[in-house]
Amino acid sequence: MTKNIAVIRGDGIGPEIVNEALKVLDKVAELYGHTFSYTDVDMGGCAIDKYGDPLPESELKKCVESDSVLLGAVGGNKWNDVPGFMRPEKGLLRLRAGMGVYSNNRPAKIWPQLADASPLKKAIVEKGIDFIIVRELIGGIYFGEHKTEGDTATDILKYSESEIERIGRIGFETARKRNKKLCSVEKSNVLDSSRLWKKVMHRLAEEYPDIELSDMLVDNCAMQIVKNPAQFDVVVTENMFGDILSDEASMITGSIGMIPSSSLGATSCGLYEPIHGSAPDIAGRDIANPIGTILSAAMMLRFSFDMEKEADAIEKAVSDYLDKGYRTADIMSEGMTLVGCKQCGELIVENLKGE
């Protein structure tokens, strides 16, 4: 099977971690008889330097026409002083909108080998951390009108029933594939948009009688994620709440460098990226953790290409790597073997096995 993957290396550590993920994909292609062709795309700070635009239309077109997109990370202090509409992150927002990917799915799973790295008490971690946050991605306050007049600034938070319904269905369908529990998170005691959100979710629940739906206010959810994360299976929420909660959830697993994500819409062409940033302070030093990007590539195989066995093989190779005691600096602990970014990728490739 041949698949065309648009590759956005981006800024900071982006090129380093993407290189290791591509090594893994090349090995998968070799073992399972696939062909992955890569089209390089400039986005973020590097695109500002090259084109004066964080995502030119020509680069977006490459992504839209691909079978899926693999992204490293964008941004950095170098571009902090450019106008707001030119920031590297604007390229990412434009990419999501241009691809029509409205559902961002971030797993929060603790690898048993890294249980000691969680900042939570051992008794909490032992109950298990394995849930996924389904975040609406191209609506809400990030995509509403932003305006500053004199000493007053406004940002508009707006959702339509259709926008809520389509992300709600992703939440219900994801729960159906897992443990049939869905928690809808909003702020319906204050916000009209959240009251509409709750109304639509409960209407959808009638179509999914096999799914146990619960409601939770966002501030309570933030507390519960650190108090008792084992209670969650699938969480569905709007854009800004999901942004904040998924970052919180990633940190209780021990390392932000281990967490992948997928962004999907109405087609199988998805956007896959680690949830961490570009970390310009460690760029070029061969110390970044590429596992979040490697696991994002595994998600691409699973959710966009229907390559379940291949995705399983990558995840097992990562687990075997951790079992053997190898660690990059961000997850290093006593008694483990410190490796760099390149060696991490190479060792995971060595652990990859075919059918």
Instruction: Give yes or no: 32 in active site.
Output: no
**260, containing H or E segment:** strand 260-264
311 Cβ contact partners less than 8 Å away, ≥ 6 residues apart:
298, 299, 301, 302
Q: What is the DSSP string of 265-330?
A: -SSS--EEEESS---GGGTTSS----HHHHHHHHHHHHHTS--HHHHHHHHHHHHHHHHTTEE-GG
Which candidate in 155, 219, 312, 323 is catalytic? 219
Instruction: Give yes or no: 67 in active site.
Output: no
Which candidate in 11, 67, 233, 243 is catalytic? 243
Instruction: Give yes or no: 247 in active site.
Output: yes
Instruction: Give yes or no: 243 in active site.
Output: yes
User: Is beta strand 130-136 parallel, antiparallel or unpaired with respect to 234-237?
Assistant: parallel
Residue 138 has which token pair? 């191209």
> What does each C-alpha distance from 78 to 43, 44, 278, 291, 311 come to in angstroms?
15, 11, 12, 26, 36
Which candidate in 26, 53, 130, 247 is catalytic? 247
- Separation between Cα atoms, residue 240 and residue 224, nearest integer Å: 18
Residue type, 198: K
- Separation between Cα atoms, residue 271 and residue 296, nearest integer Å: 9
Length of the chain: 355
- Separation between Cα atoms, residue 180 and residue 162, nearest integer Å: 23
Which candidate in 42, 102, 142, 326 is catalytic? 142
Instruction: Give yes or no: 142 in active site.
Output: yes
Residue positions annotated with a catalytic role: 142, 187, 219, 243, 247
